[in-house]
């Protein structure tokens, strides 16, 4: 997690935010609400630009310290530097997917930073958490941590982000009690990229099961 938001749709239009575009596609191909994905991305990677806070795809959190880069190449280079030091516990991309626990589900480091691939995985994982935990609030909390205190703090920030998104009209109207609903059953995953193979079982920060995952299963 990097920072929380005050959102404005000022950068929509000619230069739409890449994380928001990715969130829109992911929401269209799952039952994760668009506003929820947009709120999470702002809590995870929000940064101030021209007076507003927007998510950013070329972001890394390592050891609690956030790093933002202007290009994908810069972010990937920094990540490779960490890997060269045998540092694999860091979060990457729009939705801050943890490399140590989730890299097996990606073909490469570049894939982890790709906004669409990152958002697709986040939506699929949130869907799994919704199904196992019984509601969006529980899914959002588990996405971040299994520590009740940390999970509640994170959930509060996401709810604040949702409030701002709704207030600015930046997202289509959704049920005001979405974060309390537990009877929405997401559709079957329609992302071919994520339908096959083993999947990680950790939140963005804290693992749900024991054992490290190999880096990038598709690589030799």
pTM value? Answer: 0.77
- In a domain, residue 79? The reply is yes
CA separation for the pair 23, 45 (Å, rounded): 13
- In a domain, residue 199? The reply is no
Residue 41, Cβ density class (10 Å: 0-12 exposed, 13-18 middle, ≥19 buried)? buried
CATH classification at residue 61: 1.10.530.10
- In a domain, residue 29? The reply is yes
Phi, psi for residue 90 in degrees, rounded to 5: -145, 160
Q: Is 70 exceeded by the pLDDT of residue 99?
A: yes
- In a domain, residue 28? The reply is yes
If one counts the domains in the chain, the total is: 1
Task: Say what the pLDDT of residue 181 is.
Answer: 45
Average pLDDT over residues 45-62: 88
Q: Residue 71: which domain range?
A: 9-194
- In a domain, residue 27? The reply is yes
- In a domain, residue 218? The reply is no
- In a domain, residue 205? The reply is no
Task: Say what the pLDDT of residue 148 is.
Answer: 87
Tell me the pLDDT tens digit for each residue of 110-146.
999 999 999 999 999 999 999 999 999 999 999 998 8
């Amino acid at each position: 997690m990097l920072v929380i938001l005050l959102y404005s749709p000022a950068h929509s239009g000619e230069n739409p935010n890449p994380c928001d575009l990715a969130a829109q596609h992911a929401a269209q191909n799952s039952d994760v609400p668009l506003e929820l994905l947009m709120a999470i991305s702002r809590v995870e990677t929000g940064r101030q630009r021209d007076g507003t806070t927007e998510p950013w795809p070329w972001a890394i959190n390592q050891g609690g310290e956030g790093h933002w880069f202007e290009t994908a190449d810069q972010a990937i280079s920094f990540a490779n530097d960490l890997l060269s030091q045998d540092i694999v516990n860091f979060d990457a991309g729009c939705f801050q997917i943890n490399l140590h626990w989730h890299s097996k589900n990606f073909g490469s480091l570049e894939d982890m930073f790709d906004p669409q691939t990152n958002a697709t995985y986040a939506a699929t994982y949130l869907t799994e958490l919704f199904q196992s935990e019984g509601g969006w609030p529980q899914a959002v909390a588990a996405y971040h941590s299994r520590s009740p205190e940390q999970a509640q703090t994170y959930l509060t920030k996401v709810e604040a982000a949702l409030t701002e998104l709704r207030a600015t009209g930046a997202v289509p109207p959704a049920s005001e009690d979405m974060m309390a609903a537990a009877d929405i059953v997401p559709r079957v995953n329609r992302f071919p990229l994520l339908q096959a193979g083993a999947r990680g079982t950790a939140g963005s920060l804290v693992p749900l099961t024991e054992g490290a995952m190999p880096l990038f299963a598709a690589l030799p």
